[in-house]
Chain A
Amino acid sequence: MQSIPWYQSAILRQQVVQILLAGFGLFHVAVGIDLDAWVAAVFTAAGGGVAIWTIITRLVKPAPNLTAKAEAKEQQLVAAGKLKGFARPSMLLILAIIGLVGVMLSGCTGTGAAYKAAEAAREQSGSLEATAYVVTRHYRNLLREAADLKEAGSLAPSIVLQLQAAERATTPLFIGDVEHGVPSLRDLAKTYDDALAAFNAARTAETAKAIADANRELQAALSKATIQLAGFLRALEAARGNSTSSSRPAGPLVLVASEVRA
């Protein structure tokens, strides 16, 4: 076998063009230049064109070794009968891992956005209803996942019992339990909002006390619900059989009485 200098390789020349195109793209990102869409499209098309060029080259031209090391490796693989295609299982596995990491990294944007929106609503109006709503909606989603897992029939009976016990302890804190005198988060949030409106209308010792009481009750209920939610999440993670959860409550759930707005 005979080697050739690297610059005589059509494929390597094409890859140099690719690197220059990629380098230009990274440079424009680094310096913050805002390229027009059509300019970006031209470079993307050029990159795609080079890829097609490489495929055609590989199909119609021989692929000589560029270094003595590559030549020795080829001889070794041919002798061992291991010269095969390029889609190795290890490559696919690495790609799968990269894909999963990408999915995990992008998995908590909506959860964070919901708690941020609730925080923004609280800052704007002083109302805590949005916070209570987001925690409640978060719980409903986790409950749906638990029910799906149970109905799939793949959970051990002990895990199902854990989930059911966690649900019995958690649900009344969100939707209330008339029989046992437990108010729902919605009722407590509305009581707080009414007290806040009364305080803003007439600032008296009575309205101040009413709003302090309502705030204390709502804060206690939210804290209790959040602790139970975390317990439910632990049971759910055991059911999932892994600990990849990114859906923990992401927002500030500790409320303070001093945040009453005038």
Chain B
Amino acid sequence: MNWEAIKALGFTFVRGLAFGMSVTGNASSAKQLNRIADGLQSEQDVDADLQAAADLLNERKLTDADWDAEFAGIEAEAGRLQG
């Protein structure tokens, strides 16, 4: 089963519904629905990246470049958060 396609379809539907709500005057409900979708989508992104990590670990051994990329990413994201 193609979960990615199902998830994309689900998010498209929910965001379309939120848009419909905002057009018909339910702005607060639309905002709430979009906020829930944002949260879920963000978790989906986390999950997809960790799936990539699982694939990497199943395929080969870790290298210094893998670690360097993670540490650089943490420093960059921390900079954005503190900035």
The distance in angstroms between the C-alpha atoms of A147 and B11, with both chains bound, is 22
- Shortest B70–chain A CB gap in Å is 5
The distance in angstroms between the C-alpha atoms of A147 and B80, with both chains bound, is 6
**Does A133 contact B7, Cβ atoms closer than 8 Å?**
no
Q: If the complex has contacts A96-B14, A102-B10, A103-B7, are A242 and B39 also in contact, measured as CB distance less than 8 A? A: yes
Contacts of A151 in B (CB 8 A): 80
**Tally of contact residues, A, Cβ under 8 A:** 57
A83 interfacial by beta-carbon distance below 8 Å:
no
**Does B70 contact A118, Cβ atoms closer than 8 Å?**
no
**Tally of contact residues, B, Cβ under 8 A:** 43
The distance in angstroms between the C-alpha atoms of A130 and B70, with both chains bound, is 13
- Shortest B75–chain A CB gap in Å is 7
Contact with A along B60-83 (1 / 0, CB 8 A): 001000110011011101101110
Partner of B50, one of A134, A148, A164, A240: A134
Q: Is the interface of A mostly helix, strand, loop or mixed?
A: helix
Contact with A along B1-13 (1 / 0, CB 8 A): 0010011001101
- Which one of A66-74, A108-116, A198-206 contacts B? A108-116
Contact with B along A103-137 (1 / 0, CB 8 A): 11011111101101110110000000110011011
- Shortest B78–chain A CB gap in Å is 5
Contact with B along A146-190 (1 / 0, CB 8 A): 111011000000000001100110010011000000001010000
Which residue of chain B lies nearest to A186 when distances are taken between CB atoms in the complex?
B67
Contacts of B39 in A (CB 8 A): 240-242, 244
Q: If the complex has contacts A103-B11, A110-B49, A175-B75, are A140 and B70 also in contact, measured as CB distance less than 8 A? A: yes
Counting chain B CB atoms within 10 Å of each CB, the highest count among A93, A141, A247 belongs to: A141
Contacts of B37 in A (CB 8 A): 100
Q: Which 7 A-B residue pairings sit nearest by Cβ, starting from the closest?
A: A110-B51, A147-B80, A113-B54, A110-B47, A114-B50, A117-B57, A143-B77
